Amino acid sequence: MPRQIDRNSESGTFQPQASAGFVSRRDSLRSALGLVVAPIALGMAPPIRGVRSFQLSEPTGLRRFGYPVHALVPDAAAGRNFRLVRDGRAIPAQFRTVEGPGDRKEIALDFIASPGPLETDRYEVHFGPEVEPGPEPRGGLKLERRDGRFFISQGGSMTFEVAEDLSGFLRSVGSPRLGYLKKEARGLILRTRGAKSPASLDQADERSTPIRSRVTREGPFAVGLTFEWSGPHGISSTVDLTIPQSKSWVQVAWKLEDPSGRIDGLELDLGLELEGTPTLVDFGAGSTVYGQIKGGERMELLAGRTVGEPSTDVGPGWVVRRGEGESSTILASSAPGSPRPAEGWAHAMDSRRCTALAVADFGRSKARDRISVEANGRLRLDRDFSAGGASAIGPKSLAFWLHFVPMPVQIGAATSPQSILSPLRVEWDRPPS
């Protein structure tokens, strides 16, 4: 239909007049603006799409195979849908809402990666109501809670059993064909100044509160459990357990508040299922030290400035001993000018199974660290804060991994202790200003 024109005598310009079937450009802009303003006027924000980028790097020059990655996504707690993207493709990932400090809601990201030595990759996390959720695997981990215990299954290949009160720490670990732990175990232990003997965390003090457990995150890639306890004199304990889908290990982060310095040590005491004789042992000292023990023998790795070794500029000393009862023989030790501190890991092996223990910051804190393996399968980890005559006042911590694999370990593990102790690094880009 032809447009109707009316001459404006004052301005000397032409003004289009609306007629049936015609909408002016100004009216179109007003209508479009109304679509944006209307939701805000009604108290509704328009859809927001957020993107956070990060760099994933391999820090130690080791090839990784299906390595678990965990990170908290900054400033994404308000998001509803999440998607992990690399090179324009969606990557299977697990996003879960977790509680941060001060009950603040945060988004936990879990996925697996296989970078090469010193390789760096870039990823993006897309989030927002209009984002299509990223893929998750159909299988993966399964968590069940029954009879006062947690059961975490890796698709039927491995199952981890943990008591809700953390008694015994790990009650059982294994596959239908191969178990790794004996039933008798003291688990996590507090060594309190003045006490007649060390006590398991779940029985540490009659005046303490019962251990409270909760599931912090659950999905196909990772399950997280938290155990909280508080005792007298302001002492409190938090134990975080993480079981990933791609590796048969348990990651443990034990943190303790000790404002009056009453805790002399944190310990782990487990009974390993070992068959036959001798028991084979590897230790990660300055390099690998290996040996065999039988009967009542044990091997132990000690590190820290309290073991009697000369202090050096590169870090604390270490020593590996083997013996029975109170007697022991030094098999290896550091020396002044030794180029490397103790790595802080152990393998305990029989002909069918290997249990690996890797300890973060072994011998590098203001404490003495000890890993001890006995021929009968007793595995102990001890962090002693009392070497200077008085326990340190303030926070204390102990972080370690327990990896359960079939023999030979070089095939069954597919991940070295050095890789376990050096997780892949996630570095988030700064958000645009």
- Per-residue pLDDT, 210: 84
pLDDT tens by residue, 397-421 = 999 999 999 998 888 777 899 999 9
Q: Name every residue whose Cβ is closer than 8 Å to that of residue 290 and which is 6 or more positions away in sequence.
A: 280, 281, 282, 283
Residue 78 to residue 105: CA distance in whole angstroms: 9
What is the chain's alpha carbon radius of gyration, rounded to the nearest angstrom?
Answer: 29
- Per-residue pLDDT, 305: 59
Q: What is the mean pLDDT of residues 294-314?
A: 69
- Per-residue pLDDT, 386: 83
At 242, list the tokens: 């993480």
Residue 320 to residue 341: CA distance in whole angstroms: 13
Question: pTM of the prediction?
Answer: 0.83
Tell me: pLDDT of 16 over 90: no
Residue 31's pLDDT band (cuts 50, 70, 90)? very low
Tell whether the torsion through CA atoms of 382, 383, 389 and 392 is positive or negative. Answer: negative
Q: What is the mean pLDDT of residues 107-135?
A: 95
Q: What is the mean pLDDT of residues 387-395?
A: 73
Q: Name every residue whose Cβ is closer than 8 Å to that of residue 431 and which is 6 or more positions away in sequence.
A: 52, 74, 75
- pLDDT: is 210 or 423 the higher one? 423
- Per-residue pLDDT, 10: 37
Residue 124's pLDDT band (cuts 50, 70, 90)? very high
- Residue 241, amino acid: L
| Mean pLDDT computed over every residue of the chain | 84
Tell me: pLDDT of 1 over 60: no
**Pick from 154-168, 229-243, 259-273, 300-314: least confident:** 300-314
- Per-residue pLDDT, 204: 60
- Per-residue pLDDT, 432: 67
Tell me: pLDDT of 93 over 60: yes
Q: What is the mean pLDDT of residues 57-84?
A: 92
- Per-residue pLDDT, 257: 93
Share of the chain above pLDDT 90, in %: 60
Instruction: Name the DSSP class of 348.
Output: E
Tell me: pLDDT of 131 over 80: yes
**Pick from 27-36, 47-56, 102-111, 294-303: least confident:** 27-36
- Per-residue pLDDT, 139: 87
- pLDDT: is 373 or 139 the higher one? 373
Q: Name every residue whose Cβ is closer than 8 Å to that of residue 23 and which is 6 or more positions away in sequence.
A: 31
Residue 426 to residue 80: CA distance in whole angstroms: 22
Q: What is the mean pLDDT of residues 46-72?
A: 89
> Which domains are delineated in the chain?
50-136 (2.60.40.1180), 141-420 (2.70.98)
**Pick from 3-7, 301-305, 331-335: least confident:** 3-7
- Per-residue pLDDT, 400: 98
**Pick from 51-55, 233-237, 293-297: least confident:** 233-237
pLDDT tens by residue, 424-433 = 999 999 876 6
- Per-residue pLDDT, 23: 41
At 278, list the tokens: 């001798």
Q: What is the mean pLDDT of residues 85-111?
A: 92
Tell me: pLDDT of 294 over 60: yes
Residue 183's pLDDT band (cuts 50, 70, 90)? confident
Q: What is the mean pLDDT of residues 13-17?
A: 37
**Pick from 17-26, 94-103, 394-403: least confident:** 17-26
